[in-house]
Every structure is written in C-alpha cells, then in structure tokens.
Amino acid sequence: MLNSLQILRAVAAWMVVLHHFTQIFVDLQRDSWLVIFFWNYGALGVDLFFIISGFVIYYTTAGKSVLPGHFMLHRLGRILPAYWLFTFLTALLVYAFDDLIPLTKLEPGFLLTSLLFLPAANPSGIGLYPLLTVGWTLNFEMMFYLIFCLSLFLPERYRLFGVALGIVFVQMGLSELGGSFAFYSSKLIYEFLIGIVVAVLYRAGWIERINLPLAIAMGIASLVLIAAKEYGYAYFKIGIPLIVIAVISQENHFWRLKRMSVLGDWSYSTYLCHALVLSIIYRAASAWQLNPHNALAAACIVIVLISWLSYTIIERNISALIKQKLQTRQNLAFRVS
C-alpha cells in the first residue's frame, strides 16, 4: 500500500475523532480556531475515507484475475470482526449502564440489522444509524463492496463502467423504494467512484507527473474550495479529491514517514472505537472534573492503545488467516488441474 495513502487514512480517522471530541466536550464554547476547524470540517475525514476506499479497492485489483467470492471474503474478513466486536461492546455498555453511550438504544431486531449492515431507524430516534452509530459509514462501504464484487463478473475493461452503473442505480433507483432504502439517496456514495477515477489516473501515470510545487498549490487550492462553501456532505466539493491527488503524487517523499503509516493500519479500529472511548472519557471527566485538554490527552492515549490491540490481535490475524486459507485452496486446485 502507498505510504502516502496510509498516512492520509490516519489523518482522516483522527479528523473524525477530533470532530466528535469538539461536539462532546466543547459543545458551543468554540473559542479557538482549532476547535472551530475540527467542529466545522473534521467530519470531512469520512469523505477522505470513501475516496481512499475506492482508490484502494480498484488499485489492488486492477490487472489481476480476482474471483468475486474471494474478493468478498477478504472484505468481510477485514470489516466484520472488529465491527462486530465494538458493536457487541456497545450493546453491553448500553444494556449495563444507562446514558453512558448517548444517541443509541438497544433492541434485539435493531442489533441484528446493525450487525448485517442493513440501514434501520435507531430506536433512540436519531435516524438511520446503527447501534454503533459511527457504523453508518460501513453501510455505504458494504454496498460499495457488493457493487464492486458484482463488477468482477465483467471483463476488466468494463469494470469501471459496471461500478459506475451500480452506484447510480443504488443512489437514484434503490433509494426510491423509500423507508430504510432512502439511506442510499446520499450522494456520498459517489465518492467511492471518485476514488476509482483517481486510481485509474494514478495507474496511467498522470498523477506521478505532478511536481512538489504544483502539489502544494493543489493542496492550498483544495482548502480554499472547501472553506469557500458552507460545510456539508456535498459530493461536488472537489477540494477533497484534490487533496488525495496532491498527497499521492508525492509518494516518493512519504517513505521518510513510513513508521507513521502504522497509524493508517490502525485507522479502521481508531474509527470504530473512538466514539465509545470519548463517551466513557466524558463521563470520567465530568466525575473527576478534568478540563478538556486533559480529557483529550487521556482519550488519545486510550484510542491509540485500543486501535493497536484491535489491529494486532483481530484485524491482522484474521486477514492473514483468510489469505492463507485461500492460498492453500488455490494451490490444491492448481495441483488437481
């Protein structure tokens, strides 16, 4: 994986962490530019995640013969274990402690839809959010994986067209069924397609031609574009793809930061665990009268520790096990043939 993307993935995760921290701890007391920035723009980390996801999925499969079943098994092995762990942990905490985890409630049927990535109304009344509320993004991820999996049945030259057609169908067609399907009416889903387009440009060698001064100029331009409009999840905010393009164009400079790429490895677990950690730290801070700075330091330490443990024990081991099993099966099939 590109070091530049790994670091950008870590940045995206921690943007969301700090966004939610400002919401929970600072509330309306936005008295510094840093707090205002993460309050207004921290959630753009989700947009970065979606674009990076589209890039990675296409880039790692392009030019290869990938079986749809193997692709989906890899994806499920990567996503399910940690998500189910933190979902069940949320269920346990919601059941055991009243009001510890805000904006969610536990019901058996709702727990099942959450585990299966099916959009459903949260019993708390906040909308179509799963029990682990940050998991709403994974409902989009899993739909994208399903669309991409189906595109693997097509010849590779039609793969991009197949994904684009599938995304348009989901956003404009499936969402028209109403009810929980309305969840997919969001244009956020097009960001996966944008990521694929960026990957196509990268593989064609266009992005690598961008020199450092131009990349810096693109980065500045992207920030101006983002700041020029009122914040919202708008797919037309071309500033986000520009940031991704500018960063990966300088991959040759990011090898110096290779050690920091581990934060990118841990970013999925960081994203999953942070809301739980922040909720618990908030209760502790209220009980022990910690100021927001000390609470933030404590939260960051706990999130990093849990992210490392989750990735090391769960994500990495299960992914390695699936790869080993699939490789063994392929070797057996080759010998038989």
**What does the pLDDT look like over 131-140, one tens digit per residue?**
999 999 999 9
User: Which tokens go with 256?
Assistant: 């110096």
pLDDT tens for each residue of the chain, 337 residues long: 789 999 999 999 999 999 999 988 875 456 677 788 888 888 889 999 999 999 999 999 998 888 999 899 989 988 999 999 999 999 999 999 888 888 889 999 999 999 999 999 999 999 999 999 999 999 999 999 999 999 999 998 999 999 999 999 999 999 899 899 999 999 999 999 999 999 999 999 999 999 999 999 998 888 877 777 654 445 446 688 899 999 999 988 887 777 788 899 999 999 999 999 999 999 998 888 888 888 999 999 999 999 999 999 998 888 778 777 766 665 554 444 4
**Closest residue by Cα to residue 244 from 79, 60, 56, 78:** 56
Q: Are 106 and 91 contacting, i.e. CB atoms less than 8 angstroms apart?
A: yes
User: Which tokens go with 298?
Assistant: 């404590």
User: Which tokens go with 53?
Assistant: 């996801």
Q: How far is CA 156 from CA 55, 135, 149, 251, in A?
A: 16, 31, 12, 26
Task: Look at residue 233 and give its three-state secondary structure.
Answer: coil
pTM: 0.91
**Closest residue by Cα to residue 138 from 107, 161, 115, 154:** 115
CA-based angle 92:93:95, to the nearest 5? 65
CA distance 253 to 211: 11
Nearest-Å Rg of the Cα atoms of the chain is 20
Q: What length is written for the chain?
A: 337
Residues 6+ apart with CB under 8 A from 172: none
Q: Are 235 and 187 contacting, i.e. CB atoms less than 8 angstroms apart?
A: yes
User: Which tokens go with 37?
Assistant: 């920035």
Q: Are 54 and 193 contacting, i.e. CB atoms less than 8 angstroms apart?
A: yes
Q: How far is CA 50 from CA 119, 124, 138, 313, in A?
A: 18, 27, 10, 25
Q: Are 106 and 100 contacting, i.e. CB atoms less than 8 angstroms apart?
A: no
Q: Are 190 and 167 contacting, i.e. CB atoms less than 8 angstroms apart?
A: yes
Domain positions in the chain are 3-21+31-330
Q: How far is CA 198 from CA 176, 193, 203, in A?
A: 29, 9, 9
Segment 214-273, tens digit of pLDDT: 999 998 888 877 777 654 445 446 688 899 999 999 988 887 777 788 899 999 999 999
Q: How far is CA 82 from CA 18, 63, 307, 314, 330, in A?
A: 21, 30, 10, 7, 27
CA distance 95 to 91: 6
Task: Look at residue 290 and give its three-state secondary structure.
Answer: coil
CA distance 172 to 182: 10
CA distance 44 to 286: 29
